[in-house]
Amino acid sequence: MNQQIPVITVKDMVKKFGSFTANNHLNFEVYKGEIFGFLGANGAGKTTAMRILCGLSAPTSGEITVGGFDVYTQTEQVKRNIGYMSQKFSLYEDMTIAENIRFYAGIYGISVKQRKEKEQLLLKKLNLESERDKLIASLPLGWKQKLAFSIAIFHDPQIVFLDEPTGGVDPITRRQFWDFIYEAAAEGKTIFVTTHYMDEAEYCDRVSIMVEGRIAALDTPDKLKKQFQSEDMNGVFLKLARRVGSSESGVESKKRINKNRKS
Amino acid sequence: MRTIRYILQKEFIQVFRNKTMLPMIFLLPLIQMLMLVFAATYELKNVNIYVVNQDLSETSRELVSRFEASPFFNIYDASFDVQDAESSFNREEADFVMLIPPGFERDLIREDQAKLQLLINAIDGNKASLIYSYTLGILKGFNKVVIAEWKSLPEFNPPRRIEVKDSYWFNPELDYKWYMAPGILAILVTIIGMFLSGMNLVREKEIGTIEQLNVTPIKKYQFILGKLVPFLVIALFDLAFGLVIARVAFNMPIVGSLPLLFGFAALYLVGVLGLGLFISTITETQQQVMFVTYFFMMIFILMGGIFTPVESMPGWAQDLNRINPIYYFMRIMRMVVLKGSGFFDLIEEFVSLTMIGITFLALSIWRYRKTS
């Protein structure tokens, strides 16, 4: 954080779906060890941007490096260095905790010995030792989310991408989830997280707010609050969204986005 | 290599944890083999004859009793009135009307020939021609007796003729079940493999776990192999199971080499599973996979020659069959199982199946995208 070593650099990133521009010339850097919040309304283009950084989606144009690797040509190196947890639940429901761990550890080439050690630590930390051989389907959602996050960082990636990781869980579990995120950041991992909970934005080191495919603001939560003379991030967000949305009614733009997404 | 091991381990765990899978693996072959093989028969039995005997002479009665004695025919009803026969015909009760006109015997004696009318329901053309040829056979035999009796030709001095003695090879008792069983098995193996693999892949898309896999360093070929191998193994198991059923239930001989048969089956399955996986890479939901797969299966199966000989299809259809994997596999199954054909008899099938397999597998690996 202090040295500000960039691990993700994005220059002029553009993503178009037909005539619709989901990401309109994005420029930003994410530094090593920071928690970088990516905010925006539904359809503002934040998931699209994250998918490009993960190598799930090809950008239309722009220069992008993740973990020092080029996303166009070095996709496999990029993938070795990132962890990803999507809003859709990503563990196999019909396999046990241990089987899920074994599978993901296996495809990242982690040795059996190393896996067993880490697995034990992990289960202890999550207090899931007795549930080791239970199917994921039988676990409550909050546990699943925490487990999914832990498995996403099991192979010790430099950068972790979290796509609305706390969608649908209760406030207490969300708080615990953020403790996990802090812990991972403290280990030097860079966290890139999208959310639309404004209270979570306060937990981030820096926040970027996307409105209609552009980055409307990017700074620390404190500076943003000062800049927009608002008490909390919610106020910042509403001011930004209104300012940009005034040229076009919100409903209209939403309709357009939905239409374009489908096509 | 180690990665593939982990992928396979995961796939097998999921396959066998799926509650519908085991019944599918065991019940499907059992039901298909026992039901379809018996039902899908071309053997001609119980042809209903409506006899309109307006002659009522000794000769005409003798003719009718010959039909009665045949195992293929069954005198359904008799009447003097052609109208009755016709209405029975129209109700689809009688397959065949035999009209013996008055004066049949008289004409035969006086003019050495008599007329007989046969009306055959030819909606099913195949069946009609079979009925016709069986009928001719009976009439021919009847003719001989008539000639022998009336012309008083001594039996010990028959006119010279070519004697045809037939013996049927490879299926000496002409058991239709032996012909159908390998064909039904070929279809069974195809259904199991193609549907299960395709649906499995697209299910990962539906649940969203495929995203998680796409951000890992899994290679495309590893992923596709992971989806292919488990269902290939299951399909081969069902082939073995089906052969056992055919052996036990129909006493079907397995003349050829089993390793050869299974080798060919594996080669064939790479092709059809490759196609199933290719379909699932271009679709998003299980319904779509089902629909598209069904479309291909339907064409492949009906063109592949299970019910109708490919040789009698029009030229373009035969050409089209060159890219139909089921066509080759159907031949291989029947040739190896019933005839005992060896590898060198099947070179053409080998080359074709290899090419089809490589093509479909390559297509599915190429079309599977980690990046959209």
Within a domain: residue B41?
Answer: no
Chain B neighbors of A53, CB-CB under 8 A: none
Within a domain: residue A186?
Answer: yes
Within a domain: residue B2?
Answer: no
- Distance, CA of B192 to CA of B37 (rounded, Å): 18
Within a domain: residue B209?
Answer: yes
Q: Let me know whether A72 and A167 are in one domain.
A: yes
User: What integer pLDDT is reported at residue B150 of this predicted model?
Assistant: 67
Q: Let me know whether B331 and B184 are in one domain.
A: yes
Give me the mean pLDDT over the B290-295 stretch: 93
Concatenate the DSSP letters of all residues of A65-81 into one string.
Answer: EETTEETTT-HHHHHHT
Chain B neighbors of A106, CB-CB under 8 A: 2-3, 5-7, 9
Inform me whether the C-beta atom of residue B133 falls under 8 Å from chain A C-beta atoms.
Answer: no
Q: Let me know whether B231 and B343 are in one domain.
A: yes
Concatenate the DSSP letters of all residues of A94-140 into one string.
Answer: TSBHHHHHHHHHHHTT--HHHHHHHHHHHHHHHT-GGGTTSBGGGS-
Concatenate the DSSP letters of all residues of B147-202 into one string.
Answer: HHHHS---TTSPPP-PPP----SSSTT--HHHHHHHHHHHHHHHHHHHHHHHHHHH
C-beta atoms surrounding B151 within 10 Å: 8
Cβ–Cβ below 8 Å for A92 and B14? yes
CB pairs under 8 A between A and B: 79
Q: Let me know whether B305 and B186 are in one domain.
A: yes
Measure in Å the smallest separation between the Cα of B216 and chain A Cα atoms.
6
- Distance, CA of A177 to CA of A175 (rounded, Å): 5
Chain B neighbors of A55, CB-CB under 8 A: 214-215, 370-371
Cβ–Cβ below 8 Å for A90 and B216? no
Mutate one of A60, A72, A87, A107 to test the B interface: name it (highest B CB count within 10 A): A107
- Distance, CA of B213 to CA of A108 (rounded, Å): 11
Instruction: Find the residue in A nearest to B371 (Cα).
Output: A56
Q: Let me know whether A163 and A241 are in one domain.
A: yes
User: What integer pLDDT is reported at residue B359 of this predicted model?
Assistant: 94
Instruction: Find the residue in B nearest to A71 (Cα).
Output: B371
Q: Let me know whether A75 and A165 are in one domain.
A: yes
- Distance, CA of B26 to CA of B7 (rounded, Å): 25
Inform me whether the C-beta atom of residue A57 falls under 8 Å from chain B C-beta atoms.
Answer: yes
Within a domain: residue A263?
Answer: no
How, if at all, do strands A190-195 and A206-211 pair? unpaired
Residues spanned by the domain of B66: 47-150
Q: What is the CATH number of the domain that holds A237?
A: 3.40.50.300
Look-up: residue for tokens 């990133």?
Answer: A13
SS3 assignment, position A166: coil
C-beta atoms surrounding A228 within 10 Å: 17
Inform me whether the C-beta atom of residue B5 falls under 8 Å from chain A C-beta atoms.
Answer: yes
Inform me whether the C-beta atom of residue B20 falls under 8 Å from chain A C-beta atoms.
Answer: no
Q: Let me know whether A167 and A73 are in one domain.
A: yes
Cβ–Cβ below 8 Å for A109 and B2? yes
By residue count, chain B amounts to 372
Interface predicted TM-score of the whole assembly (ipTM), two decimals: 0.83
User: What integer pLDDT is reported at residue B225 of this predicted model?
Assistant: 92
- Distance, CA of A40 to CA of A213 (rounded, Å): 9
Cβ–Cβ below 8 Å for B211 and A55? no
Q: Please, what is the average pLDDT of chain B?
A: 86
Within a domain: residue B12?
Answer: no
Chain B neighbors of A58, CB-CB under 8 A: 371-372
Cβ–Cβ below 8 Å for A80 and B218? no
Cβ–Cβ below 8 Å for A86 and B208? yes
Q: Let me know whether A55 and A163 are in one domain.
A: yes
Per-residue pLDDT tens digits of chain A, which is 263 residues long? 456 889 999 998 999 888 888 888 889 999 998 999 998 877 788 888 999 998 888 899 999 999 989 988 888 889 999 999 987 778 999 999 999 999 999 999 899 999 999 999 999 988 888 989 999 999 988 888 889 999 999 999 999 999 888 877 888 888 888 999 999 999 989 999 998 788 888 889 999 988 888 888 888 888 888 888 888 888 888 888 776 655 444 444 444 545 544 44
Within a domain: residue B135?
Answer: yes
Measure in Å the smallest separation between the Cα of B236 and chain A Cα atoms.
25
C-beta atoms surrounding A108 within 10 Å: 20
User: What integer pLDDT is reported at residue A244 of this predicted model?
Assistant: 62
User: What integer pLDDT is reported at residue B290 of this predicted model?
Assistant: 92
Cβ–Cβ below 8 Å for A84 and B6? no
Q: Let me know whether A189 and A140 are in one domain.
A: no
Within a domain: residue A40?
Answer: yes
Q: Let me know whether B144 and B197 are in one domain.
A: no
Inform me whether the C-beta atom of residue A14 falls under 8 Å from chain B C-beta atoms.
Answer: no
Q: Let me know whether B224 and B360 are in one domain.
A: yes
Rounded to an integer, what is the distance from CA A204 to the centroid of its chain? 12
Q: Let me know whether B215 and B336 are in one domain.
A: yes
Within a domain: residue A227?
Answer: yes
Within a domain: residue B288?
Answer: yes
Inform me whether the C-beta atom of residue B10 falls under 8 Å from chain A C-beta atoms.
Answer: yes
Measure in Å the smallest separation between the Cα of A58 and chain B Cα atoms.
6
Q: Let me know whether A50 and A103 are in one domain.
A: no
Q: Let me know whether A168 and A232 are in one domain.
A: yes
Residues spanned by the domain of A103: 91-156
Instruction: Find the residue in A nearest to B17 (Cα).
Output: A94
User: What integer pLDDT is reported at residue A251 of this predicted model?
Assistant: 47
Chain B neighbors of A108, CB-CB under 8 A: 216-217
Partner-chain residue, chosen from A75, A90, A108, that has the shortest CB–CB distance to B211: A90
Inform me whether the C-beta atom of residue A108 falls under 8 Å from chain B C-beta atoms.
Answer: yes
Within a domain: residue A252?
Answer: no
Cβ–Cβ below 8 Å for A79 and B217? yes
How many distinct structural domains can be found in chain A? 2
User: What integer pLDDT is reported at residue A253 of this predicted model?
Assistant: 47
Chain A neighbors of B211, CB-CB under 8 A: 56, 84, 86, 88, 90
B114-122 LR contacts (CB < 8 Å, sep 24+): B116/B63, B119/B85, B119/B89, B120/B95, B120/B96, B121/B89, B121/B92, B121/B94, B121/B95, B121/B96
Q: Let me know whether B146 and B203 are in one domain.
A: no
Q: Let me know whether A11 and A59 are in one domain.
A: yes
Q: Let me know whether A199 and A229 are in one domain.
A: yes
Look-up: residue for tokens 């951000």?
Answer: B215
User: What integer pLDDT is reported at residue B151 of this predicted model?
Assistant: 65
Inform me whether the C-beta atom of residue B371 falls under 8 Å from chain A C-beta atoms.
Answer: yes
Give me the mean pLDDT over the B25-38 stretch: 87
- Distance, CA of A75 to CA of A63 (rounded, Å): 14
Residues 6+ apart with CB under 8 A from B193: B231, B232, B234, B235, B269, B272, B273, B276
Q: What is the CATH number of the domain that holds B111?
A: 3.40.1710.10
Q: Let me know whether B200 and B302 are in one domain.
A: yes
What backbone torsions phi and psi does residue A21 show, to the nearest 5 degrees? -100, 110
pLDDT tens-place string over residues B64-74: 888 888 888 88
Chain A neighbors of B214, CB-CB under 8 A: 55-56
Q: Let me know whether B241 and B110 are in one domain.
A: no
Within a domain: residue B163?
Answer: no
CA dihedral A59, A60, A65, A66 (to 10 degrees): -10
- Distance, CA of A38 to CA of A195 (rounded, Å): 7
Cβ–Cβ below 8 Å for B5 and A93? no
Give me the mean pLDDT over the B342-371 stretch: 91
Q: Which H helix or E strand runs over A145? A: helix A141-152
Residue at a domain's end among A122, A156, A190: A156
Cβ–Cβ below 8 Å for A56 and B207? no
Q: Let me know whether A170 and A224 are in one domain.
A: yes
Q: Let me know whether A137 and A195 are in one domain.
A: no
Residues 6+ apart with CB under 8 A from B87: none
Inform me whether the C-beta atom of residue A109 falls under 8 Å from chain B C-beta atoms.
Answer: yes
Q: State what percent of residues in chain B have pLDDT above 90.
A: 32
Specify the range with the lowest mean pLDDT, choosing from A142-146, B41-45, B159-163, B238-242.
B159-163
Within a domain: residue A145?
Answer: yes
Q: Let me know whether B113 and B205 are in one domain.
A: no
How many distinct structural domains can be found in chain B? 2
- Distance, CA of A54 to CA of B217 (rounded, Å): 11
Contact B52, B78 (CB under 8 A): yes
Q: Let me know whether B138 and B210 are in one domain.
A: no
Write out the two tokens for A180. 């996990």
pTM for the model: 0.80
Mutate one of B14, B212, B214 to test the A interface: name it (highest A CB count within 10 A): B212
Q: State what percent of residues in chain B have pLDDT above 70.
A: 94
C-beta atoms surrounding A120 within 10 Å: 12
Within a domain: residue B156?
Answer: no
Cβ–Cβ below 8 Å for B215 and A79? yes
C-beta atoms surrounding A180 within 10 Å: 18
Within a domain: residue A86?
Answer: no
Inform me whether the C-beta atom of residue B1 falls under 8 Å from chain A C-beta atoms.
Answer: no
Q: Let me know whether B137 and B187 are in one domain.
A: no
Helix (H), strand (E) counts: chain B? 15, 4
